[in-house]
Amino acid sequence: MPLINISIPKGKSPEYVKAIADGVNSAVLTTLEGFPPDDRYQIIHEHQSYELEYQTRLGDRVMLYLIMRSGQKPEAKKAFYRKVVENLARSPGIDPANVLITIAENHDIDWSFSGGVAQFVQ
Amino acid sequence: MPLINISIPKGKSPEYVKAIADGVNSAVLTTLEGFPPDDRYQIIHEHQSYELEYQTRLGDRVMLYLIMRSGQKPEAKKAFYRKVVENLARSPGIDPANVLITIAENHDIDWSFSGGVAQFVQ
Amino acid sequence: MPLINISIPKGKSPEYVKAIADGVNSAVLTTLEGFPPDDRYQIIHEHQSYELEYQTRLGDRVMLYLIMRSGQKPEAKKAFYRKVVENLARSPGIDPANVLITIAENHDIDWSFSGGVAQFVQ
């Protein structure tokens, strides 16, 4: 947890993609509660520039959609948002104005991380 | 708001993609409440035809998934569905039978549109 | 229902993709309640290997995200998870350890399957 969908413009290097994924993952681990260090589940989607409609932005931009269990405190979510843009500004150098984040929540029973087992409700 | 994921078959022109994105955006602005005109957040995904399983449909088709704050009235959602298919039938000419729409809702705290700030709960 | 997003590594054959989609669909129909046999709505996403961060896994892997109406019983969800990995192990041969599944729920009003109509609340 969480499962994070990350959408970015097409054509970036693996290193650029990795920097974004790492920065988001680090923000999860340092601001949200209860996630072990190896708890990384990320899906990166690449799109043509005209397929990422983010108001009128045309430059490098990141649109993030997280699914996670409910229970994170509002202050933790706020800290997460701040840390994501801080990390991505440092590397790979994304303007904080060009990062959108939204979260959808679910429940213990809604997760199977491996082996077809519902790990939170065994 | 909302964040809209739009999945379509691969290989369309930018103009076709733009017509779909514009038609969906126009439907949001004319039927749902409380969205300013520049409130556009859309991610278009392209897929091989065999990667868009929509019952037995094989022609042009659109699968839409929205994330938005709870609070829209049932009648507004119904009007939105009607307007999306109406707009897409006009341009780029999608059969209304070939449009799927689903919505997942979240809350004020679950959005950061820019700058790492939770704009709805400042 | 449900709408299922399936993310896999890029470069597989259409037959491989089809086996995954079929296995997931079969699991839906045999374990979850109330879905007619033709109720198939799946979106397959392909990614570079470095764009599917699933802890440290590097081999064939599948990350599944479902959106469906609330109401499925916990035991049905557990049976679904088990059946998905069982089906995918048989064909196309995915290690059950390499399958992640998560579910987000919504409501009757949140679906339009065709024609701009909210089929569940007419």
Q: Are B78 and C44 inside 8 Å of each other by CB?
A: no
Would you say the ipTM is above 0.90?
yes
> Beta-carbon neighbour count of residue A29 at 10 Å?
14
Biggest CA-to-CA distance, chain C: 47
Residues facing C44 on adjacent strands: C6
CA angle B11, A9, B63 (to 5 degrees): 50
Coil, helix or strand at residue A26: helix
* Closest to A108 in 3D by CA, of C52, C78, C108: C78
From residue B97, alpha-carbon distances to A57, A95, B5, B62 in Å are 33, 41, 19, 10
pLDDT at A122: 84
- Using alpha carbons, list the distances in angstroms from residue A32 to B39, B77, C65: 28, 33, 21
Distance CA A36, CA A49 (A): 35
Residues of chain A contacting C104 with CB distance shorter than 8 Å: 67, 104, 106, 110
Per-residue pLDDT at B79? 98
Tell me the mean pLDDT in the region B44-56.
98
What percentage of chain A has pLDDT greater than the value 90?
A: 98
Q: What does the pLDDT average to over B38-50? A: 97
Task: Average the pLDDT over B55-79 and give the result.
Answer: 98
Q: Where are the domains of chain B?
A: 3-121
- Give the C-alpha separation, A65 to A104, whole Å: 8
A36-73 pLDDT, tens digit each: 999 999 999 999 999 999 999 999 999 999 999 999 99
Q: Per-residue pLDDT averaged across A6-32, rounded?
A: 98
Q: What is the pLDDT of residues B9-35, one digit of tens each?
A: 999 999 999 999 999 999 999 999 999
Name every residue whose Cβ is closer than 8 Å to that of residue B73 and which is 6 or more positions away in sequence.
B33
DSSP character string of B23-58: HHHHHHHHHSSS--TT--EEEEEEE-GGGEEETT--
pLDDT at C1: 81
Contact, B6 vs B20, CB < 8 A? yes
Q: Nearest C-alpha of chain B: how many angstroms from A91?
A: 15
Out of A53, A54, A81, name the one closest to residue B117 (CB): A81
CATH class of this structure's domain C3-121: alpha beta
Longest CA span, chain A: 47
- What pLDDT was estimated at residue B122? 84
pTM greater than 0.90: yes
pLDDT digits (tens, 9 = 90+) for C45-100: 999 999 999 999 999 999 999 999 999 999 999 999 999 999 999 999 999 999 99
Orientation angle between helical segments B14-31 and B74-90, nearest 10 degrees = 150
Chain C residues near residue B74 by CB distance under 8 angstroms: 109, 118, 121
pLDDT at position B6:
98
8 Å CB contact between B21 and B44: yes
Q: What was the pLDDT predicted at C95? A: 98
**C81–A39: do the CB atoms touch at under 8 Å?**
no
Residue with tokens 């994924």: A21
Tell if the CB–CB gap between B102 and C106 is shorter than 8 Å: yes
Helices (H), chain C: 14-31, 74-90
